[in-house]
Structure 1
Amino acid sequence: MSRRYAVAMALLAMSLVAPMSVAPIGVAAQQFTPRGHDITLVIGAPGTSDFAEQFARWAGRWRGIAERGEIEMEVIGETESNKSDYEILRSRVSSWNDPGTTHWIVFIGHGTHREGESKFNLRGPDVRASELAKWLNVTQIDASELQRNAPMVIVNCSSSSGPFVNALSAPGRVVVTATASASEHNFARFGDYFSEAMLSLESDLDHDHEISVLEAFLRASKQTQRFYESEARIATEHALIDDNGDALGTRAKAFRGTRVIANAKGDTDIDGQLARRIALPMGIDGQTQPLSDAQSVTRDRIEIQIETLRRRKHEMAEVTYYDEFELLMLELAQIYQAASQEQQGSREHDGGDAVTPAKASDQE
């Protein structure tokens, strides 16, 4: 480890335990609109009472997530209505016109693939991947629009869900599927582990007391693999995540921690860069979210710069690389220092102790 890298990491560590003598950077709140979240939970036709119980348990965890984060959530597929679940889903997603909200769509249930089309099995008419893509108005989005619009998260926990990646992939959109292809048609357990991962401290790979989409995906993929290994069974599901708009998807084995170790094809950015920055506003393990909305946006900007710098490392002089790396780490440290001081003041006012996060994802 070089001296300059050690200095950069020491700066971050210092920010987590003691005030720094540098002038704090502003989080530029006026430049960003805090982004809210909502969840659309779609529960499919269970088929049997056993599956109904399992899906109800997974849905219960999502209710806990929404309650903890005070997030609006609409559940489709539980109550009776004069409209079909298909019509309710179409009406809901087609009406979204609020660019400041990160919409989550989570599908719990069974999937099928027939006549070249993957479907999610609803009560009544099923929804095709191509239909959902049409409702969501898949278009090419330029960079300026991506900066103005909140991202979207789609998690399909059903069998034969892989083609939903191909159909729904777009810039500014995270798509997670339980399977890598339509041929993986056996019952998928990924949804069970994904809902658990969203609430588990074990998912928090970067130790910032929040669970990103990427972290939940990695944890759920690992737990799914362990299930098949413990049962001495051949794995019949391999989850994918896609957030670079190339419609290919990436499996969990391509990551080490939250950093991808495989290369994307062509000039496309690697998957995971967007998903690692999206987390629902809730604490885990009894702790509150450490950063404000504005601080999170600024942190995301710096982390993008760090990742870009890492990709250029091979073409830079070592001293230049570590000089730039040190400056970015100092900026990042100042954000966490400010958040820590704010949290300390709040807890002292309430008579409690402050809890400070560590940000392991910034290490080499």
Structure 2
Amino acid sequence: MMKFLFSTLSLALALAAVPPRTHAAGTNQTEIIAVIGAAGEEEFETQFKEWADRLPVIAKKARAKLTTIGFEEPGEINDRELLKQALASAEQDKLNDLWIILIGHGTYDPRAAKFNLRGPDLSSAQLASWLVSITRPTAIINCTASSGAFLKPLSGANRVVITSTKNGMEQNFSRFGNFFTQNLASPEADLDQDEQTSLLEAFLKASKDTLGFYESAGKLATEHALIDDNGDGYGTRPDFFRGVRATKKARGGQSIDGLRAHQFHLIRSEFEAKLSPEVRAERDRLELAVERHRSRKPHMKEDLYYSELEKLMVTLAKLYASVEEVEKDKAVAKPESK
């Protein structure tokens, strides 16, 4: 029985690991909402603009929808209200990724953490309340000082939260946003060499480059970025990762941080770009289920562990096989060119 089980599991693993030659056509409908806050001084305004100006270029390559706030001269509606409206509109999509990138200054006191905008500032509590109705996969990247205080209020299911500081008390000017926008679609950040840079990989490379900035300047680092994607609100530091896997166990039996963030990509590989949003979402769900199951291995009987793993891997293999069948049917139905 065990011999048969391992043979079946090996076949399932092989089928799941090798991408099919053809895939269901999909459209990358990722949405980016980018906000530049109040700069205050000209020096900061120049830097924030330089960082933010990289985003339209990336969005064009990714064929993503880009909404910018704070890029132009202020109008009758203040920037905080514009962000609220953009998020209300984003509620309509239930499947495609939403990226929210905040660039600027942040402040913190025991009463509230805030992102400084032209006009009324945005508190972590306000942003959290506006995100409640958004069920699509969402990434919030706060590149400001004191942004660590945003992590716990924003943490939740199907969300990735990245902050440039570990808490609200790191209040010095943050340079993380510069390196994050540099690495967001950089091949140099592609740690696992799968021809695409994930949100996790951009976070890790940006964190490394930020630390390198302080070291080369002979200064003590005043910002320490965190990533949270398991919903526990604690976050994980970049130095707890080896490659793209966290070596630190999550609290309370949660899955480790980084797994979900590694499934977010702006500019996808040729293979990923051909998957429909529905297929990609199901594939992501199954991959996370496999990782959660593997984390339970020390606490399960061997036969039960491999039996349950087999079910997951076979389901994953069938998903790829069904996509290939759809493409074969399309090829057969396609009329011959004259």
Provide TM-score, normalisation by structure 1.
0.74
Candidates 242, 254, 257, aligned match of 1:271: 257
1:82 aligns with 2:68: no
1:48 aligns with 2:2: no
More divergent stretch after superposition (48-57 vs 116-125): 48-57
AA aligned to 1:109 is G
Asked if structure 1 preserves the Cα contact closer than 8 Å seen for 2:31 and 2:98, the reply is: yes
1:176 shift after superposition: 0.8
Mapped partners of 1:278, 1:226: distance in 2 = 25
The CA deviation string for residues 238-296 of structure 1, in whole angstroms up to 9 with x for no partner, is 1111122222221112222222211111233322232222222x247x99836443442
Asked if structure 1 preserves the Cα contact closer than 8 Å seen for 2:176 and 2:207, the reply is: yes
Mapped partners of 1:156, 1:34: distance in 2 = 27
State the partner residue of 2:238: 252
Q: Structure 2: 5+ residue runs without aligned partners?
A: 1-5, 332-338
The CA deviation string for residues 64-115 of structure 1, in whole angstroms up to 9 with x for no partner, is 1111111111111122211211221223224443142432211011111135
State the partner residue of 1:312: 296
In structure 2, do the counterparts of structure 1 residues 77 and 331 end up closer, same or farther at CA, with 3 Å as the change threshold? same
Percent identity for Structure 1 against Structure 2: 42
State the partner residue of 2:106: 111
In structure 2, do the counterparts of structure 1 residues 262 and 47 end up closer, same or farther at CA, with 3 Å as the change threshold? same
Asked if structure 2 preserves the Cα contact closer than 8 Å seen for 1:104 and 1:152, the reply is: yes
Mapped partners of 1:259, 1:184: distance in 2 = 26
More divergent stretch after superposition (91-100 vs 179-188): 91-100
Asked if structure 2 preserves the Cα contact closer than 8 Å seen for 1:111 and 1:120, the reply is: yes
Q: Which runs of 4+ in 1 moved over 4 A?
A: 7-10, 316-342
1:92 aligns with 2:86: yes
Asked if structure 1 preserves the Cα contact closer than 8 Å seen for 2:153 and 2:233, the reply is: yes
Mapped partners of 1:13, 1:56: distance in 2 = 43
Q: What does 1:186-197 align with in structure 2 at a 5 Å threshold? A: 186-197=172-183
More divergent stretch after superposition (313-322 vs 269-278): 313-322
Candidates 32, 35, 43, aligned match of 1:39: 32
Asked if structure 1 preserves the Cα contact closer than 8 Å seen for 2:29 and 2:65, the reply is: no
SS of alignment partner, residue 113 of structure 1: strand
AA aligned to 1:122 is L
Mapped partners of 1:263, 1:126: distance in 2 = 36
Compute the RMSD of aligned alpha carbons: 3.7
Asked if structure 1 preserves the Cα contact closer than 8 Å seen for 2:102 and 2:144, the reply is: yes
1:289 aligns with 2:276: no
State the partner residue of 1:301: 285
AA aligned to 2:184 is M
1:231 shift after superposition: 2.0
Asked if structure 2 preserves the Cα contact closer than 8 Å seen for 1:86 and 1:122, the reply is: yes
In structure 2, do the counterparts of structure 1 residues 69 and 251 end up closer, same or farther at CA, with 3 Å as the change threshold? same
1:215 shift after superposition: 1.8
The CA deviation string for residues 14-53 of structure 1, in whole angstroms up to 9 with x for no partner, is 946x98xxxx9x98x9xxx978321111001122222222
AA aligned to 1:64 is V
- The aligned length equals 320
The CA deviation string for residues 146-205 of structure 1, in whole angstroms up to 9 with x for no partner, is 9xx422111100011001012211222211110001111111111111112211112222
